[in-house]
Structure formats: structure tokens, C-alpha cells
Amino acid sequence: MTVFMPASDNKDINAIKNLKRAPITILDGEECKFVVPVATWTTPLTFEHTTLDISTINTKILEEDRDRKYLLLQNISDIDVYISLGVNAQKERGIVIKANGGEKLFKGETNFIGEVFAIHSGVDDKMLLITIGR
């Protein structure tokens, strides 16, 4: 599926070209200045399930992965875990994944392919379940 979006000026076109999600095709014509391919899955994804211990020190839990199409993070610990996208995680800041089963899902329009960091403000290591679809 491809979404056609009218460009109001070159600034819009340049902003979309800078996205790292998909190649951009510039079309000639007045009706449509550029095309933004929308991620669709044409083949089934392969899922990988892992666990990771999160500490009270900022931890990189995922590297950048341009093949990642689906990411589910589940907190099975007894304390909230904080994640950050592309930058170091900080306690009490960023995206919170609540204790005892809280989760954050990235897929489709909300997919994130960059580095992911995590931290918690409790004691001892806490476990995060990670499911990745490629």
C-alpha cells in the first residue's frame, strides 16, 4: 500500500526524505509531489523471544535494526521500567512500562528501528521480556 500526500512546499518534502523508514520517490505533477511508502507485511514475520535483566544503571537493550518490523516489551518485574528511544534512559523519565505485566508495542506506524535503552529505580535486576518480529 502506498499513501499519496500533497506537498505544500520543499520543506515538507525534505522533512519526509530525512525519515529513515523507507525510500522516498518524488513524482512529477501538481497533484502529488512525493510518495510515502507505508510499511506493510507481505510475508509472515519471524518472531524472536528473549528476556533481559534491567538494572538501576542505563542499559542499551536493543541495537538499531532496520529489519525490525515489530517490537513488544513486557515488564514482568515488580517495579516500573523506563525506556528511552535513541538516547540514554533516565529514572522517572521517558516511556514507562508499568510493573507486573505492563507492555509497550511498536509496530506499523509506531515501529521504532533505533537503539532502545532501559533503566529502573528499584533494587536488584528486573526482567523485561522482548519480542521482535522481522
User: Which of 131, 127, 133, 132 is closest to 75 using CA atoms?
Assistant: 127
Residue 47's pLDDT is what? 95
* pLDDT of amino acid 43: 72
Segment 85-100 mean pLDDT: 96
What is the predicted pLDDT for the residue at 39? 52
Q: Which of 18-22, 30-34, 59-63, 81-85 has the lowest mean pLDDT?
A: 30-34
For 12-35, what is each residue's pLDDT tens digit? 445 544 544 444 444 444 444 344
Could you give all domains of the chain from N- to C-terminal order, each with its CATH number?
Answer: 2-37 (no CATH), 47-133 (2.60.120.770)
Burial annotation 105-129 (CB, 10 A radius, 16+ → b, else e): ebbeeeebbebbbbbbebeeebebe
In this predicted structure, what is the pLDDT of residue 109? 86
- How does the average pLDDT of the chain come out, rounded? 80
Instruction: Give the burial string for 26-41 (b: 16+ CB within 10 Å, else e).
Output: eeeeeeebbbeeeeee
Q: Mean pLDDT over residues 65-69, rounded?
A: 95
More confident site: 7 or 51: 51
Confidence class for position 5, pLDDT limits 50, 70, 90: very low
Residue-wise pLDDT for 105-131, tens only, equals 999 888 999 999 999 999 999 999 999
Q: How far is CA 8 from CA 91, 99, 104, in A?
A: 41, 44, 34
H or E element that contains 95: strand 95-97
